Amino acid sequence: MRAKTMTMLYRLDAPAAAVGRAFETDTREDPWAGGYVGPGQFAPVLTAGREAIAGPMPRTRQPRRMIPRLWGVMPPQSAMDTRPHGILTARNLDSPFWTGNLRNPEFRCLVPATAFMEWGRPSPVDGRRRQLWLSCADQPIFAFAGVWKDSEVPAFAILTCEANAALRAEGRETMPVILPPDPKAHETWLRAGWDRAQTLVQPYSSSLLSCSQTHRSGTAPPR
């Protein structure tokens, strides 16, 4: 049986200034110093800078913004009693819960990170579950494809897709959508129509992921 637990931790071990340089983003609104992010915590997201401008893309290009958002979108009222925290990931992109936001680029965002955690298969030595910490060999700071919703507290979720071969071998069904290290891809996710943006929702190459492992008892993520 494949594991269904979603990514529950990720790291952004880079200060705001480094994130701003990597993604050509104004970071003055979020003095992020670096660290890990868990469910229900605030973390930086990068937007196209037009959160208050719904509708057609304006002719004047707004500068990107790095702003804090809560990880975990509030679920529909009907699901409030069954979820201990907000919705961390968006898998069914045709769900009415997500379609309006995904089809309006002002609600798409880049979620910068330096590593993320997935649960791997139990250790063959002692049977304990293993944390797999994964980073991108081709980009020290990478971006998940994200979507945010404006509610009582603006919050974001990370898009997921089918797992790549390396994670399927560890029993995973899905993985977060990691955008390629191409400024054009970042621009497409933040500003293009959904017909173009959705082509970026695909597994990241196994050959470009680096992996380190810790047992479940080792709760501190590696740096």
- For residue range 97-146, what is the model confidence (pLDDT) as tens digits? 999 999 999 999 999 999 999 998 888 888 888 899 999 999 999 999 99
CB atoms within 10 A of CB 35: 13
5 pLDDT band (50/70/90 cuts)?
A: very low
Residue 221 lies in a domain: no
Query: Quick check: is 152 in a domain?
Result: yes
In a domain, 181, yes or no: yes
- What residue numbers bound the domain in which 182 lies? 10-215
* Among 49-58, 86-95, 198-207, the least confident range: 49-58
pLDDT, residue 208, reads 97
Beta carbons of 148 and 45 less than 8 angstroms apart: yes
For the chain, report the end-to-end CA distance as a whole number of angstroms: 31
Domain membership flag for residue 191 = yes
Average of per-residue pLDDT across 147-171:
94
CATH of the domain at 33: 3.90.1680.10
Q: With contact defined as beta carbons under 8 Å apart, do 107 and 53 qualify?
A: no
In a domain, 173, yes or no: yes
The residue type found at 86 is G
**Does residue 67 have a pLDDT over 60?**
yes
Considering the domain boundaries, does residue 1 fall inside one? Answer: no
pLDDT at 126: 83
What is the arithmetic mean of pLDDT over 214-220? 51
- 223 in a domain, yes or no? no
Between 120 and 19, where is the model more confident? 19
- In the chain, what percentage of residues exceed pLDDT 70? 84
Q: Are 177 and 145 in contact (CB under 8 A)?
A: yes
Q: Within the chain, how many helices (H) and strands (E) appear?
A: 5, 12
Two tokens, residue 217: 């008892």
pLDDT at res. 102: 97
Find how far residue 174's CA is from the centre of its chain: 13
Report yes or no on 206 lying in a domain.
yes
Task: Look at the chain and report how many structural domains it folds into.
Answer: 1
Span 61-89, mean pLDDT? 82
